[in-house]
């Protein structure tokens, strides 16, 4: 291994940066810089497999090659060429270049991609003393991101986005991303041992993510990542990280319940939970909202009800939610929706509200936080 420390970026949907930073701290990383849409940190090589396996709310983990001002194509070319690409990209490596440009003078993304590709090729030609690269080996997906004339060059270590856990072979009508579902749970007051209910469970994602959290199961344990093929890391590093993750798994008595009006959605949720290895932890059933009941006093409810184009009459559904949940004054209730009049229809002001994005849909996460359960006695 040629280097002891690397600079990494955990990318995140807007609004989830603090959640990702907290996850990184829990994994033992302290040197963090939180910015819009990303958390930068310096770590050892072991962090690449560890963060890919364990991060629940991040979109992907990127290796930071360099950041610099770039207002001209010449400047972009020269500064890209000056970076140590040969430390990572092998002679047979495949290195496609993707790009994005926001509020920058270099606004033509195809041109920026072509210049970065050419600069990397020129650098690697000097290193490997070859004129042509077959690109048949490991994947090193390069990204050039320009924001206000500042260029950030990264190599993606994840491959498919981290929300691709592998358990969701079928989605419901409008499935929530696994990374967002995990964040909703982590932003709540739910703890293993306390009942968690989702009355609009759809394909079961929120409850499955809660089960993974409750049993300390690494969300990336059963999938592959791009950097697994990188010789700089070696298979031993990944094997050790996977072994540690397997040993960290717990078997806690979890109370997780999901219901949905759609029998097909409930069937998909059961299948997804089975794929995730947590089918025995969650009870799913077909149930209309009006039938939702619980004798538990200090439960948690986290849900992603229909909204936007999926819902013709939001007032009707949200008023019914307010009526059904009105007696649950000792529960903590969390609802994500894009409906700006949600509180008006629901009939209650949220104690806290947090702006989040469900895909590209701007939403609010309404938090009606109830009293904490008694420490001794009383029903959780």
pLDDT tens string 270-305: 999 999 999 999 999 999 999 999 999 999 999 999
Give the residue among 275, 283, 318, 309 at the shortest CA–CA distance from 168: 275
H/E stretch holding 109: helix 109-128
For residue 314, what pLDDT is reported?
83
DSSP 311-371: -S-HHHHHHHHHHHHTT-TTSEEEEEES-TTHHHHHTS--SEEEEEEETTEEEEEEEE--P
Q: What are phi and psi of 218, to 5 degrees?
A: -65, 125
DSSP state of 139: B
Rounded Cα distance between 145 and 31, Å, is 23
For residue 3, what pLDDT is reported?
59
The answer to whether 313 and 333 have CB atoms below 8 angstroms apart is no
Q: What angle do CA 227, 58, 64 make, to 5 degrees?
A: 50
Residue 8 bridge partners (DSSP): 41, 63
Q: Is 60 helix (H, G, I), strand (E, B) or coil?
A: strand
H/E stretch holding 242: helix 235-248
Rounded Cα distance between 140 and 138, Å, is 7
Q: Which residues of the chain have pLDDT under 50?
A: 1-2, 377-378
Give the residue among 135, 192, 205 at the shortest CA–CA distance from 165: 205
For residue 1, what pLDDT is reported?
42
Classify domain 178-219+251-368 at the CATH superfamily level: Vaccinia Virus protein VP39 (3.40.50.150)
Choices 3.20.20.10, 2.40.110.10, 3.30.2130.30, 3.40.50.1370: CATH for 5-156: 3.30.2130.30
Rounded Cα distance between 33 and 39, Å, is 6
How does pLDDT run across 36-57, given as a tens digit for each residue? 999 999 999 999 999 999 999 9
For residue 208, what pLDDT is reported?
98
Q: Which residue has the tokens 């700089």?
A: 232
For helices 17-26 and 178-186, what crossing angle results, to 10°?
80
Q: What are phi and psi of 346, to 5 degrees?
A: -65, -30
Sequence ranges of the domains in the chain = 5-156, 178-219+251-368
Rounded Cα distance between 32 and 186, Å, is 19
For residue 378, what pLDDT is reported?
46
Q: What angle do CA 201, 202, 208 make, to 5 degrees?
A: 60
Rounded Cα distance between 166 and 281, Å, is 18
DSSP state of 94: B
How does pLDDT run across 314-366, given as a tens digit for each residue? 889 999 999 999 999 999 999 999 999 999 999 999 999 999 999 899 999 99
Q: Is 218 helix (H, G, I), strand (E, B) or coil?
A: coil
The answer to whether 318 and 349 have CB atoms below 8 angstroms apart is no
Give the residue among 268, 271, 265, 255 at the shortest CA–CA distance from 306: 265
Residue 3 bridge partners (DSSP): none
For residue 374, what pLDDT is reported?
86
Q: What are phi and psi of 74, to 5 degrees?
A: -65, -45
Rounded Cα distance between 348 and 296, Å, is 21
DSSP state of 300: E
For residue 173, what pLDDT is reported?
63
pTM summary value? 0.94
For residue 171, what pLDDT is reported?
64
The answer to whether 183 and 365 have CB atoms below 8 angstroms apart is no
């Amino acid at each position: 291994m040629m280097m002891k420390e690397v600079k990494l970026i955990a990318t995140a949907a807007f609004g989830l940066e603090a959640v990702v930073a907290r996850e990184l701290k829990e994994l033992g990383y302290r040197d963090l810089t939180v910015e819009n849409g990303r958390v930068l940190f310096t770590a050892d090589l072991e962090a690449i497999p560890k963060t890919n396996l364990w991060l629940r709310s991040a979109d992907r983990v990127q290796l930071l090659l360099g950041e610099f001002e770039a207002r001209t194509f010449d400047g972009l070319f020269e500064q890209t060429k000056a970076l140590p690409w040969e430390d990572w990209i092998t002679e047979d490596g495949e290195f496609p270049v993707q790009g994005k440009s926001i509020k920058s003078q270099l606004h033509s993304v195809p041109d920026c991609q072509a210049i970065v590709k050419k600069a990397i090729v020129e650098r690697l030609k000097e290193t490997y003393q070859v004129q042509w690269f077959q690109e048949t080996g490991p994947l090193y997906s390069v990204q050039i991101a320009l924001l206000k004339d500042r260029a950030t060059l990264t190599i993606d270590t994840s491959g498919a986005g981290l929300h691709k856990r592998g358990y969701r072979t079928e989605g419901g009508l409008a499935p929530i991303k696994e990374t967002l579902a995990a964040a909703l749970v982590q932003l709540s007051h739910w703890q293993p041992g306390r009942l968690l209910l989702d009355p609009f469970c759809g394909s079961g994602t929120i409850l499955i993510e809660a089960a993974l959290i409750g049993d300390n199961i690494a969300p990336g344990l059963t999938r592959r990542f791009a950097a697994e093929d990188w010789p700089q890391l070696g298979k031993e590093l990944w094997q050790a990280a996977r072994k540690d993750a397997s040993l960290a798994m717990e078997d806690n008595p979890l109370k997780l319940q999901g219901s949905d009006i759609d029998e097909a959605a409930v069937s998909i949720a059961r299948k997804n939970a089975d794929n995730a290895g947590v089918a025995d932890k969650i009870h799913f059933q077909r149930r209309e909202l009006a039938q939702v009941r619980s004798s538990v006093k200090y439960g948690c409810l986290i849900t992603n009800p229909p909204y936007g184009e999926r819902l013709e009459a939001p007032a009707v559904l949200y008023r019914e939610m307010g009526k059904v949940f009105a007696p649950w004054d000792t529960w903590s209730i969390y609802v994500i929706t894009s409906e700006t009049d949600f509180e008006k229809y629901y009939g209650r002001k949220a104690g806290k509200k947090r702006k989040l994005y469900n895909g590209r849909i701007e939403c609010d996460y309404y938090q009606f936080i109830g009293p904490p359960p008694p420490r001794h006695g009383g029903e959780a």
